[in-house]
Amino acid sequence: MPKALTKSDGYKSLVKKITLEFAELEFFVKNRVAQGHWNVGKYIHEHLLEHKDRADYGATLYERLAKDVGRDKSTLLRSVQFYRTYPIVAAQRQLTWDHYKSLLPIKDAAERKKLEERIIRHGWNTKQFRKYLSVKRELAAPAKDDKLVVQLKFTRGKLHTYQIVPANKTLSRRGPLALDLGFREQYETPKDAPKLKENDTVELVFKEGNFSGVRKVSVAQEDIFTYVAMVEKVIDGDTLLVSFDFGFPVSVSQKLRLRGINCPEIDTEEGKKAKRFVEARLKGCDFIVVKTYKDRTDKFDRYLADVFYSAGTSDPSLVAGEGTYLNQELLNEHLAVIY
């Protein structure tokens, strides 16, 4: 068996060098694609200037070129627009051709410049930038009647209900099963619990506000993973940092993304307005109720949430059943769009 590489073998240095080379190669390719389209636009523009006295020349040139060079007419037209919009393209080497294609329809040069700087500052890829533009356009559209606002489908869930799962290595010595609290946290099954099996659901029992045991209940899968939580920080209009009250002496802080909506970026006036709205709504709340969902499209354990609140209410079950649905409220106020 070959001997494993150690730190002294310079393996970390090797990884760093290869990663840097591939990053530079990717940058070079993307930059060259943009430069190539700019050059094409320059050649066509200069050719048209040479034949500016022929009024009908430009009308037929693009069709002929598209056929002879094997490219779409739209690509040639966009390349010319690119050259005319950016007479000096080398100034923004961080931007790709796809970035420029999204920027070209923006006629206001000052606005376009701000967007270029924002792309570079945030390191947005094309998908992220187009998403930002989509949200910006939707929020800039004339406000519609509230009846026309999309209504999110949601489940309020049931507090203090947990599914029974195989115990992890930490708890397995205390028994084969445990309560799944979510967020990769478990709690041992109480010794006086009823007879339980995997996938059963239990509800916590409280006496005078203190946990006293569990009872077996029948609860739909979509109703579990519903919690009382305290807001630690409003990060932006659709992102919160909260700490959960599981009903046990277990503490977890977690960043949550409001499900189904998208607020503008926090460094925009619209984004700051959305954040201020959320802060104002939750300011008088000792707690909120959160129904969580694992984001299956994200590999970093991101959790989506439906958030319910009611300032001045001390009963969590009342907030869970009747509290204001924050996600929908942001849509209704035109501070977010459907995601």
Instruction: Decide: 291 and 277 in contact? Cβ < 8 Å.
Output: no
- If asked whether residues 211 and 245 sit together in one domain, one would say no
By CB atoms closer than 10 A (0-12, 13-18, 19+), residue 190 is middle
- If asked whether residues 174 and 260 sit together in one domain, one would say no
By CB atoms closer than 10 A (0-12, 13-18, 19+), residue 17 is exposed
By CB atoms closer than 10 A (0-12, 13-18, 19+), residue 2 is exposed
Q: With CA atoms as reference, report the closest residue to 242 among 308, 175, 321.
A: 308
Tokens in use for 41? 């636009």
CATH number at residue 247: 2.40.50.90
- If asked whether residues 18 and 48 sit together in one domain, one would say yes
CA 182/CA 225 separation, integer angstroms: 7
Instruction: Decide: 178 and 167 in contact? Cβ < 8 Å.
Output: yes
- If asked whether residues 236 and 188 sit together in one domain, one would say no
Q: For the chain, how many structural domains are there in total?
A: 3
Query: CB within 8 A of 252, min separation 6: which ones?
Result: 181, 183, 185, 243, 244, 246
Does residue 156 sit within a domain?
Answer: no
pLDDT in tens, the chain (339 residues): 455 555 556 888 898 999 899 888 887 888 889 889 999 999 999 999 998 888 788 778 998 999 999 999 999 999 999 999 988 765 456 788 999 999 998 989 998 988 888 888 878 888 888 888 888 777 776 655 555 788 999 999 999 999 999 999 999 888 999 999 999 999 999 888 999 999 999 999 988 888 889 999 999 999 999 999 999 999 999 999 999 999 888 889 999 999 999 998 888 888 999 999 999 999 989 999 999 998 877 666 789 999 999 998 999 999 999 999 999 999 999 999 988
- DSSP-derived pairing of the beta strands 324-325 and 303-309: antiparallel
- If asked whether residues 261 and 298 sit together in one domain, one would say yes
The pLDDT tens digits of the residues spanning 299-316 come to 667 899 999 999 989 999
Does residue 140 sit within a domain?
Answer: no
Residues in the chain: 339
The pLDDT tens digits of the residues spanning 202-255 come to 999 988 888 889 999 999 999 999 999 999 999 999 999 999 999 888 889 999
- Unique residue bearing structure tokens 């939750």: 282
- Unique residue bearing structure tokens 């790709």: 96
Instruction: Decide: 245 and 255 in contact? Cβ < 8 Å.
Output: no
Name the pTM for this structure. Answer: 0.68
- The packing angle between helices 57-69 and 11-50, to 10°, is 140
- If asked whether residues 180 and 72 sit together in one domain, one would say no
- If asked whether residues 186 and 108 sit together in one domain, one would say no
DSSP string, 5-37: P-GGGTHHHHHHHHHHHHHHHHHHHHHHHHHHH
Per-residue b or e along 23-38, where b marks 16 or more CB atoms closer than 10 Å to that residue's CB: eeeeeeebbeebeebb
Sheet containing strand 185-188, strands side by side:
185-188, 177-182, 161-166, 201-207, 210-217
Per-residue b or e along 239-277, where b marks 16 or more CB atoms closer than 10 Å to that residue's CB: bbebebbbbeeeebebebbbbbbbbbbeebebbeebbeb
The whole domain housing 182 covers 161-218
CA 268/CA 271 separation, integer angstroms: 5
- If asked whether residues 22 and 100 sit together in one domain, one would say yes
Helices (H) and strands (E) in the chain, counts: 9, 13
- If asked whether residues 88 and 167 sit together in one domain, one would say no
Give backbone dihedrals phi and psi of 105, rounded to 5 degrees, phi first: -65, -15
